[in-house]
Every structure is written in C-alpha cells, then in structure tokens.
Amino acid sequence: MSLALLESKLSKWPLCFTAGFASIVLYCTFTSISIVFFPGPVSPTNNFLSQLGNSRLNPSGAIFYNLAVILAGLVAILFYVGLYQWYTKKKGNKLLTAALAVGFVNAFSIIMSGVFSESVNYSQHVFWSSLIFISFIPVLILVNIALLTYPDHNKLISYYGFIVAVIDFSLLVILLTIGFGPGIGPLMEWIAVFSYLAWVGLLAYNTRGSWYS
C-alpha cells in the first residue's frame, strides 16, 4: 500500500472516531483479562471495578485493569481533542470549549486513578476516582447541550447523554449516603462506566458521519 493511499484511508477516520472506539476496545479488553485472572467470581453487585486493579485482591490481574484505565485515559485525551471538529463548524461555541477543558480534567483523572490503584494509595485512588465521576457530569451536560445546535448531530445521542449524567449523579449520591459496601453502589458504578462508554461510541460514530457533511 502506498503512503498516499494510506493517508487517504486514514483521512476517512476522524480522530474523535478512532480515539473513541480505541478507548472502548482498550478498556473492555484489558478489563476482561483482569476479570479472568480475578480469584473467585466477579459480580457488579459485589465488586467495584477498582477492585480489579487491587493487587492484593487480584494479584495476577491487577496490572491488566490498571493498564485498561491508564490507556483508556490517554486515548480519551485524543477523543476530546477530536471533538474540536465540531468547534470548527461553529466557531465561538463557548459551551463546547468549556466541555473540552473539563474533558481534559476527566481524562487526566482517569489516568491518575490507574496510576494510584487501591493497593498503591487508597486515599489518592478515591480522590481521582471521585473526580472521574464528578467531571463526567459537566462533560456530558456541556457537550450534549452544545451539540444540540448542530443540524448534523443526532439529537437522540444528546438525550441519552443527559440520562448518563443523571446516572453519574445518582452514583455519587449513593456513595455519599450509603457508602462503598456491596449492593447498589458497585452496580451503579458499572452502569455509569459502561453507559458512558456507550455514549462515547455513539458520539464517535456520529462525528464520523458529520465528517462528510
């Protein structure tokens, strides 16, 4: 394949699309590997996702989950950079600019939660993990409100994004009121994480469609 042909093929895949799906694949793949190595059964109602990265609970598989988080966070930076494609279509969109700024905070907090796993520094891990879900909310609200003004954006994706924001807020309320025990807390975390990844995938796919419009 010639270099010109390769560049032509790559130009059909905007950064938001490739980075969005790469983050999903990386996170799900390495998380699945860590679950395989986890001693005993893993249940969304009994295990917080962070426990997969705890080397005391998951001696052989913790490294894979922490890699999942760190790599997904690194690629998430590219995903947020790729969202700039929408900004170029309507320059001066302050909501989208603010969303991208919060997005970088979110991506950095994802990376740091993998660097400081539960077994490395629990208090640091709780701080960065909390910041992930706190920053999810303004990202989801700002991005989805901003994109509602674009005619080539699928508005259903924005409405779904608002639902994910409510899920994240509910998770934070549950953790603050009930705590970190088994039950609804870990279940809501799983739902929050994977519903957010689904939103990333939908937005990435929609962004690719807008690439040609």
How many other CB atoms are found less than 10 A from the CB of residue 48?
Answer: 20
Q: Among all chains, which residue has been given the structure tokens 């419009």?
A: 213
Query: How long a stretch of residues is the chain?
Result: 213
Mean pLDDT (the chain) is 89
Q: pLDDT tens-digit profile of 62-87?
A: 999 999 999 999 999 999 988 877 66
The pLDDT confidence band at residue 97, using thresholds 50, 70 and 90, is confident
pLDDT at 12: 66
For residue range 12-30, what is the model confidence (pLDDT) as tens digits? 678 889 999 999 999 999 9
Q: Which pLDDT does position 1 carry in this prediction?
A: 45
C-alpha neighbours within 13 Å on the C-beta side of residue 122 = 6
Dig out the tokens for 58 from the structure.
């998951």
pLDDT at 212 over 70: no
pLDDT (0 to 100) of residue 181: 83
- Asked whether the beta carbons of 73 and 103 are under 8 A apart, the reply is no
Task: Give 11's pLDDT tier (boundaries 50, 70, 90).
Answer: low
Please give the share of the chain, as a percent, with pLDDT higher than 70. 88
What was the pLDDT predicted at 90?
A: 60
More confident position, 203 or 209: 203
- Could you tell me which residue, 190 or 151, shows the higher pLDDT? 190
Q: Is the pLDDT of residue 89 over 70?
A: no
| pLDDT surpassing 80 at residue 2 | no
Residue 4: pLDDT band by 50, 70, 90 thresholds? very low
Closest Cα partner for 113 from 99, 124, 97, 103? 124
| pLDDT reported for residue 10 | 43
What predicted TM-score, i.e. pTM, was given to this entire model? 0.88
What is the tens place of the pLDDT at every residue in 130-156? 999 999 999 999 999 988 888 888 999
Residue whose entry in the numeric block shows the structure tokens 């706190």: 134
Average pLDDT, integer, range 35-42: 96
